[in-house]
Chains A and B, each alone.
Chain A
Amino acid sequence: MRLFSFLGRLVIERLRVLFSVLEIASSAVWSAVFRFNQGRNATLSVLFKQVYFTGFEAIPIISWIALILGLIVVTQSLSILPRFGGEGLIGEIMVWVIVREAGPVFASVIVIARSGTAIASELGSMKVSKEVWSLEMMGIDPLHYLVMPRVIGTAISVFVLTFYFEAVSILGGYLLAGFGKNIAFSAYISNVLGAMGFVEAGVSLLKSVLFGFIIGTVCSYHGLLVEKSITQIPQETTKAVIGSLRLVFLIDAVITFIFFM
């Protein structure tokens, strides 16, 4: 009986969290679509800052990881493929590994580590210092002014970073590991482009936008959960990271299953 009661409470609690996150997500979409003109100057300023921090400032670390991953995948592929006379499959492998999976997932993990934590802790400290409350007193809707630009900005950034990651990984991987091997650059590129269909590019786009949206929403939700105590900030930031990772990998699996099973 106790087990059922425990499980029941757990399910109710999870559903409550899910509905709260969905409420924030729908509010962000509603604000972006139907309240775009309200407070446009102020919200656009927050949006640009978010894209600059999450997207532009992440380029060095994204480049570094994309290059290393490209090098690893190309090196591993070229160490195995010649045994089967399958060097020509290198393009397909890059598209399967980098475009379908690693691009959106790695870009998201980096954004969670850099910006997800920043969003949760920044909103948390704004709650503690009563800044969110003072916005409400000024007639400024915190969901519209603080959350919507962060969610949309994160989605835009993950989308752009994913395609940047994939390009750097595919090109850099060849330059670092494939150059000088018995595969010409032009053949490599035409191989990659030949393997890149509408579904591969579309799924990568869908994943990146969804992941960005999830990260922005989950991290904003946890940031706004902070009440009065400063010790809640690191606790909620950790929950934001774990929650974002959980959802990103779950949604990744679901999309992969739907499109490639």
Chain B
Amino acid sequence: MTDPLIEIKEITCSSGDGRKVFEKASLTLFGGEKVLVTAPVASGKSLLLKLIAGLVKPEEGEVRVFGGDITRLSDSELKSIRKRMGFVFQDTTLISNLKVIENVALPVMYHTDMTFDASMERSRLLLEDAGFTGDLWALPGPLPLFAKKEVAAARAVSLGPEILLCENIAEGLTESEMEKTASFILKYHGHYGGRLLILTSSTAAEAPFFKPDRRITIEGRRFVEGR
């Protein structure tokens, strides 16, 4: 088997309000997998994303991403690790003062030397692929949630990340909207081998659309492998 992309070893970690969320919890995730992590609200899904991104450090234990222990990496090393990940957040968090196409182009324009025209063209194609049919030069604020999620998904894959993390992606979407969004993400995941897709969810509503290889729940402050 290949080396794991993410290795969480016996971590103990508390949330911002001091509540212990993980205790001696371990989880190993490999490239090519589709993993669904389900847990009730406020039981550690967002904290898991922050741990993987290195925004939060555990009080005990190790979080290894791409082989490096994020608790020991410098800020610049963490930033270069985050470049290799894509996030689709529950509330999309598109940058409100950037146009739709600029939101998708932002990671490319910031992290690469691609010219403005080339990054715009690339973003236009990604948005088209994601099914976005609205005005590319509109501000994202007034867009319906579904359109915002399409933009967020296009932005998440814009740098070709090896790990794609989607937080409660089904929330607020109808079945047909979910089907479209899932097919874009699955197309991206399947197109390149060895990429890891992590979905976090409160309801597991994503399961029929993504057909995950592994289902994990957070129970008793630990990760529990499900069916």
1/0 contact string of B91-108 vs chain A (CB within 8 Å): 101111100001000110
A140 interface residue per 8 A CB criterion: yes
A130 interface residue per 8 A CB criterion: yes
Chain A positions within 8 Å of B79 at CB level: 139, 141
B221 interface residue per 8 A CB criterion: no
Docked CA distance A222–B96 (Å): 19
Docked CA distance A136–B85 (Å): 12
Known interface pairs A42-B109, A138-B107; A131-B95 also in contact (CB < 8 Å)? yes
B201 interface residue per 8 A CB criterion: no
Residues 125-164 of A contacting B (Cβ, < 8 Å): 125-126, 129-131, 133-141, 145
Q: Which residue of B55, B97, B109 contacts A137 across the interface (Cβ within 8 Å)?
A: B55
B132 interface residue per 8 A CB criterion: no
Interface of A is mostly: helix
Number of residues in B with C-beta < 8 Å to the partner?
29
Q: Which residue of A126, A136, A141 contacts B55 across the interface (Cβ within 8 Å)?
A: A136
A202 interface residue per 8 A CB criterion: no
B82 interface residue per 8 A CB criterion: yes
1/0 contact string of A8-39 vs chain B (CB within 8 Å): 00000000000000000000000000000001
B55 with A140: CB separation less than 8 A: no
B89 with A139: CB separation less than 8 A: no
A39 with B95: CB separation less than 8 A: no
Docked CA distance A194–B97 (Å): 47
B8 interface residue per 8 A CB criterion: no
Chain A positions within 8 Å of B110 at CB level: 39, 41-43, 138-140, 145
A200 interface residue per 8 A CB criterion: no
Known interface pairs A41-B116, A134-B87; A126-B106 also in contact (CB < 8 Å)? no
Contact count band on A: 20 to 34
Docked CA distance A106–B183 (Å): 57
A131 with B96: CB separation less than 8 A: yes
A137 with B95: CB separation less than 8 A: no
B119 interface residue per 8 A CB criterion: yes
A101 interface residue per 8 A CB criterion: no
Within the complex, the shortest CB–CB distance from B137 to chain A, in Å, comes to 14
Within the complex, the shortest CB–CB distance from B48 to chain A, in Å, comes to 13
Within the complex, the shortest CB–CB distance from A229 to chain B, in Å, comes to 15
Known interface pairs A42-B106, A126-B96, A145-B110; A134-B80 also in contact (CB < 8 Å)? no
A45 interface residue per 8 A CB criterion: yes
Docked CA distance A146–B171 (Å): 30
A87 interface residue per 8 A CB criterion: no
For residue A136, which residue of chain B has the nearest CB? B55
Residues 92-138 of A contacting B (Cβ, < 8 Å): 122, 125-126, 129-131, 133-138
Counting chain B CB atoms within 10 Å of each CB, which of A133, A139, A140 scores highest? A139
6 of the cross-chain contacts (CB-CB < 8 Å) are A45-B102, A136-B82, A137-B82, A137-B87, A139-B83, A141-B79
B53 interface residue per 8 A CB criterion: yes
Counting chain A CB atoms within 10 Å of each CB, which of B81, B82, B114 scores highest? B82
For residue A145, which residue of chain B has the nearest CB? B110
A125 with B96: CB separation less than 8 A: yes
Docked CA distance A33–B71 (Å): 29
Docked CA distance A126–B93 (Å): 9
Docked CA distance A200–B85 (Å): 54
B93 with A139: CB separation less than 8 A: no
Chain A to chain B: the 8 pairs with minimum beta-carbon distance, closest first: A139-B82, A134-B93, A39-B110, A42-B109, A42-B110, A41-B109, A139-B79, A139-B83
Chain B positions within 8 Å of A138 at CB level: 82-83, 87, 106-107, 110
B93 with A133: CB separation less than 8 A: yes
Docked CA distance A134–B110 (Å): 14
Docked CA distance A126–B85 (Å): 22
Known interface pairs A39-B110, A42-B109; A129-B96 also in contact (CB < 8 Å)? yes
Given contacts A45-B116, A126-B96, A134-B89, 18 further A-B contacts (CB under 8 A): A41-B119, A42-B109, A43-B110, A125-B96, A129-B93, A130-B91, A131-B96, A135-B95, A136-B55, A137-B49, A137-B82, A137-B85, A137-B87, A138-B87, A138-B110, A139-B83, A140-B106, A140-B111
